[in-house]
Structure 1
Amino acid sequence: FYEENSPKEISSRMTSDTAIIETVVGTTVSVALRNMFLGIGGTIYLFWLLPGLTVWLAVGIPGVILPIVFFGRRIRSLSRDNQDRVADVGAMVTEVLSAMKVVQSFGQESREADRFGGAVERTFETARRRIVLRSIMTAVIILAIFGSIVLLLWRGAEGVATGEITGGTILSFIVGAMIVAGAFGALTEVYGELLRGAGAASRLAELLEARPQIAPPARPEKLPEPARGSLSFRNVTFRYPARPETAALKDFTLEIEPGETVAIVGPSGAGKSTIFQLVERFYDPQGGTIRLDGIPLTKADPADIRARLALVPQDGVLFSANARDNLRYGKWDASDADIWDAARAANAESFLRALPQGLDTYLGEGGTQLSGGQQQRVAIARALLRDAPILLLDEATSALDAESEQLVQQALEELMKNRTTLVIAHRLATVRAADRIVVLEDGRIVEQGTHDALSKSGGLYARLARLQFANAAA
């Protein structure tokens, strides 16, 4: 779902579209109800006053209904398109502002300004077409309504001239007719707003009606207790939905024993991160089976699967919250004592205690109050606090300096004790101590073994190790 739909565009739908619906429901609907009752009540009054004359109102009904039918669908479509363009602008603004330092570093301010201007122009053009079409519809409907009123007045004038209708009666009829015409004229304006709200509602309805493809089975199998932490991949083949022509994993088979530390290495695009995505059941493979503690992932509840996993991502993702909430994200009911124990084990206690309000300190958007190494140690403490039997380390030290890497590595060694651990690493020095190293290339296992054995084999791992360690020595 998130491959095919931009999170920024989804965010825009949930804000701008909701605001439109709020306006329609809070203001437009009340105006519509008021004018509808006024129009219906006025029409009943006219029928009571001069029924023979009011029947002629039926002449104008097709002139009102036909433009609504003809223009209504097109206006609703343009309203939806306009909201799509507004969402594009919102997504672009969010993207550029969040990467403003990169934009300025590469001197792309003018280009981004032109790109923004183009997006705004496209939005304006769509809105202009919608407004013009809505104006034409309103004009045609008002012309039909007032044309009918003029026809009635002409017939009424004839009645006054022949003595069939008194002057007072026709005056009352004229006043009532003007009220009815004004009410129905206002309803055409309101109808345009309602169509705009309908376009926004249809976009939100798409989100509400979306159903996850990865869902619990009707009768999920329970994972065994206590958890062992074994993982099994048997003949797994997987293609990402957005790239169906390319297999990320091909006939992948791997058995991971409880408590084993397995490092997964290989060039970029070999399929390393795909393994983590499948273990967490963000996707299901097109072929083969993946088992956790002997249970196929497709037969278990995804929530139960993820409860047995703790992830330390490449970038220590933190939320716009205080330190306490970020640390206990994996175990929300953790006590402060548990939080400090995890922080101590992750080499994070000292800088957390130095924060102005301690655990209550707001860390900023994305944890901007902390350095990269500190963010990573908070992520490790969070994983420690979760106390899951399987640990997933995704390039956990790749973006750190030497000092931060040493502190993080020490914290990881503490975290990996008595757990099944899968490690993705480009820096081969960080995986030397792994029980087993699995080397991937083009979605297949080409080698596996210990660091020493693979270094002597002269294969892909030996070549990567020789390049890295030679560069390090240089």
Structure 2
Amino acid sequence: MAPAAAAGLPPATPRLQPLRGLLPYVGRYRGRVALALLFLLLAAGAMLALPPTVKLLVDGGLTQPTAGAPDERLAAIRQHFLLLFGVSLLLGLATAARYYMVSWIGERVTTDLRQAVYAHVLRQSPQFFETLKTGEVLSRLSADATVIHHAVGSSVSMGLRNLVLLLGGLTMLLTTTPRLMLSVAGIIVLVVLPAVLIARRVRKLSRASQDRLADTGGIAGEVLNAVGVVQSYGREAAEAERFGRANEEAFAASMRRTGTRSALTAFVIIGVFASLLYGMYGGVSAVLAGEISAGQLSQTALYVMVVAGSVAVLAEVWGDLLRAAGATERLMELLAAHSPIADPARPVSLAEPGGGLPLGFSQVQFAYPSRPTAQVLHGLELRIPAGQTVALVGPSGAGKTTIFQLLQRFYDVAGGAIQVDGVDLRRLSLAELRRRIAVVPQEAVIFSGSIADNIAYGRPGASPDEIRAAAGAAFVDDFVRRLPEGYDTFVGERGLRLSGGQRQRIAIARAMLKNAPLLLLDEATSSLDAESERVVQAALEIAMAGRTTIVIAHRLATVQRADRIIVLDHGRVVEDGTHTLLVAKDGLYARLAALQFAA
């Protein structure tokens, strides 16, 4: 299945005109677009004014006899050269102004589009990323945006300018030498029709080339994010070979596009030049027959050069625009993706809690959208009072992590309901719901930046004193004091400069600083050594005070002090009680405990 289709994106439509999707972004800057068009028309007008000026020079100053002295004749010629310089001055200034304006528009539109796509992707549910690789999204944000920038900031302007020159040049040729150009026009039509058919092929190949390039980005992003695992298993050569195959496919797709585009360019240039040279031959014959002057022939020759040059540029621009259409289509697919998780039309507000947050699960049914036939939760019934610490225990696949994802509304239940403080969480805005939840995941997520930045991620407006207070409660201060730069220490990408225990303590400090009434702990100590686990466990006990806390743990020693232990199996609650009570029942929990403690 294609990545776009698998991610729920609309399929590519060959007859669609994707570049229209850029109009709302260009339309925000109508004033600058108008200025760019004005300068474009001035530059094109100056270029079209050059041939008549040369005609005046040839007929009025060079080929016509002058009764005056040579100095007077030279003065007359000088006037014509001054006129030529004035036209070229206007051409240079208007071209420079046009270039600046269209470059600004290209940069601004690309920046706005990249921002819109990135912000939209961030709002997508995890379902969106189940089938679309992160690397492919990054490829669309970088490679595709670069293609669009080139088109908007250069190709469109060059295309419009040369289109004006083409139409203006043909109009002047038809006006000055109509008999010649009418025959040439018929030949040009025969060139254009096959070119349109070739251009359609270029567009399809451009889209395929961008898709293959995105595949390489997806592979690279996936492997580089797990380079330690790749190296530990000695898979460097195999992964390099896999990337190489995708890279070669991208190269082959690019060369197919380039070959077809080159054929299109050659066909258009040769065809148009041949037809215009035919017109020039007729012009020379007319001069020899005395039907037109040498100045008229010079004017015709220059217009032929203008028209031929415009056609050559338009052929290149056409290829650029076809490639940009494919890139735009891919970005518009991302913007057209709609997350199934959205704010309700009339969200309900919750009262600010004084302590924890009561939760309720009523006959909850759920299966992941990517696996609709594999039911994960089967009529789950569960009540958690405010301020209670509950541990979720059970074999892998029992539904523990799914409960966390449903509580944060990454997915919606297929049946039943989840209540937060007595309100169905689907009636709450996503911002209000998630503001009341703090999470400490199994693998602490650390962003590139300082330690203080990472702790403050839980509450961006926190003061330095509040950050240090949370850090002290999470025992982060113990190791930060030993760092030369303290809380300003740069932690590296994904916190690679820190140990696992240090990263986990920072994640706990982040959750403490957020001070949410509901705390979710997902295997928060499972990957730590005994020393780190002791420190992190002490920090967690401080974090849990006064909050509703749900703990996922396979290591039963971690959850023995919980108020309740909920044992899940195949998406159902099979046991509920304290550690002592559940061991006495001699059920699933007792068997899990016996296995671990025996080990």
**Matching of residue 402 in structure 1 with residue 530 in structure 2:** yes
Residue type at the aligned position of 2:306: I
Q: 1:120 aligns with which of 236, 240, 247?
A: 247
Match of 1:416 among 526, 544, 567: 544
What does residue range 113-262 of structure 1 map to in structure 2 within 5 Å? 113-156=240-283, 159-160=286-287, 163-166=290-293, 168-226=295-353, 228-262=356-390
The one-letter code of the counterpart of 1:393 is L
**Shift of residue 157 of structure 1?**
5.4
The amino acid across from 1:173 in the alignment is T
Q: CA deviation at 1:181?
A: 1.2
Q: Does 1:55 align with 2:182?
A: yes
Question: Aligned-pair distance for 1:160?
Answer: 4.8
Q: Secondary structure of the residue that 1:333 maps to in structure 2?
A: coil
Structure 1 residue identity aligned to 2:458 = G
CA contact (8 A) 1:272 1:440 kept: yes
> CA separation in 1, counterparts of 2:243 and 2:232?
18
Q: Which amino acid is the alignment partner of residue 150 of structure 2?
A: T
Give the gaps of 5 or more residues in structure 2.
1-127
Paired residue secondary structure (1:433)? coil
Range that drifts further, 303-312 or 25-34: 25-34
Q: Which runs of structure 2 are paired with 1:318-397 in the superposition (5 Å)?
A: 318-397=446-525
2:183 and 2:507 mapped to 1: Cα distance?
A: 76
Looking at structure 1, the residues matched to 366 and 199 of structure 2 have their Cα atoms a distance apart, in angstroms, of 46
- Describe the shift of the 1:251–1:60 C-alpha distance in structure 2 as closer, same or farther (beyond 3 A): farther
User: Once the 2 structures are TM-superposed, how far is the Cα of residue 64 of structure 1 from its aligned partner?
Assistant: 4.2
2:137, 2:328 → 1: CA distance? 13
- Contact kept, 8 Å, 2:470 with 2:510, in 1: the verdict is yes
How much does 1:83 deviate?
1.2
Q: Secondary structure at the match of 2:129?
A: coil
In the alignment, which of 427, 450, 455 is matched to residue 578 of structure 2? 450
The amino acid that maps onto 1:50 is: T
Overall identity of the aligned pairs, in %: 51
295-304 vs 163-172, greater mean Cα deviation? 163-172
2:114 match:
none
Q: Secondary structure at the match of 1:432?
A: coil
State the Cα distance separating 1:158 from its structure 2 match: 5.5
SS at match of 2:449: coil
Instruction: Using the TM superposition, give the Cα deviation of residue 322 of structure 1 relative to its aligned residue in structure 2, in angstroms.
Output: 0.7
**Corresponding residue SS for 1:330:** coil
Q: Deviations over 1:62-97 (max 9, x none)?
A: 334323431223222221221111111122223323
- Of 408, 411, 415, which aligns to 1:280? 408
1:453 counterpart letter in structure 2: L
Matched, 1:307 2:307: no
- Corresponding residue to 2:154 among 10, 16, 27: 27
Listed one character per residue, the Cα deviations across residues 135-192 of structure 1 (whole Å, up to 9, x for unaligned) are 2222222233123224434544564565544455344323321321121122101110
Question: Which residue number in structure 2 is paired with residue 426 of structure 1?
Answer: 554
CA distance in 2, matches of 1:351, 1:336: 17
More off after superposition, 325-334 vs 65-74 = 65-74
Contact 1:63–1:141 (Cα < 8 Å) also in 2: no
Q: For residue 185 of structure 1, what is the amino acid of its counterpart?
A: A
The one-letter code of the counterpart of 1:315 is E
Q: 2:507 and 2:318 mapped to 1: Cα distance?
A: 52
In structure 1, distance between residues paired with 2:340 and 2:196: 38
- Partner SS, residue 392 of structure 1: strand
Aligned to 1:7: 134
1:338, 1:385 within 8 Å by CA — same for their partners in 2?
yes
Partner Cα distance (2:415, 2:193) in 1: 55
CA–CA distance in 1 between the matches of 2:481 and 2:329? 49
Unaligned runs of 5+ in 1: none
2:45 alignment counterpart: none
Report if the CA contact (8 A) 1:89-1:116 is conserved.
yes
CA distance in 2, matches of 1:460, 1:180: 84
2:457 match: secondary structure = helix
Question: Residue in 2 aligned with 1:44?
Answer: 171
CA distance 1:10–1:46, change in 2 (3 Å): same
Q: CA deviation at 1:216?
A: 0.9
| Greater mean deviation of Cα atoms: 281-290 or 454-463 | 454-463
Aligned residue in 1 for 2:223: 96
One-letter amino acid of the structure 2 residue matched with residue 2 of structure 1: F
Cα separation, 2, equivalents of 1:116 and 1:440: 42
Q: What is the identity, as a one-letter code, of the residue corresponding to 1:197? A: A
Equivalent positions of 1:48-87 (< 5 A) are 48-87=175-214
Give, in angstroms, the shift of residue 387 of structure 1: 0.7
Q: How far apart are 1:109 and its partner, in Å?
A: 2.1
Please identify, of 407-416 and 158-167, the stretch whose mean Cα deviation from structure 2 is larger. Answer: 158-167
- Residue 455 of structure 1 and its aligned partner are, at CA, apart by 1.1
Q: Matched residues in 2 for 1:199 and 1:73: separation?
A: 11
SS of the residue corresponding to residue 561 of structure 2 reads: coil
For residue 394 of structure 2, the aligned residue among 247, 266, 269 is 266
Q: CA RMSD in A?
A: 1.8
Q: Aligned match of 1:436 in 543, 546, 564?
A: 564
Alpha carbons 2:195, 2:267 under 8 Å: kept: no
Please give the per-residue CA displacement for 1:325-384, whole angstroms capped at 9, x wherever unaligned: 100111111111111111111111111222221111111111122110011011111111
Compare 101-110 and 12-21 and name the one that shifted more: 101-110
Determine the C-alpha separation between the residues in 2 that align with 1:27 and 1:208: 24
* Bigger radius of gyration among the two: 2
How many residue pairs were aligned? 471
C-alpha contact (below 8 Å) 2:353/2:517 kept by paired residues:
no
The normalised TM-score by structure 1 is: 0.95
Task: Write out per-residue CA displacement over residues 91-148 of structure 1, whole angstroms, 9 at most, x where no aligned residue.
Answer: 2223323333322222222212211211111001101110111122222222331232
CA displacement 1:210-260 (0-9 Å, x = unmatched): 232211111111113336501111111111111111112111111111011
Q: Is the 8 A contact 2:134 2:221 kept in 1?
A: no
Equivalent AA in structure 2 for residue 106 of structure 1: Y
The 1:238–1:61 alpha-carbon spacing in structure 2 relative to 1, beyond 3 Å, is farther
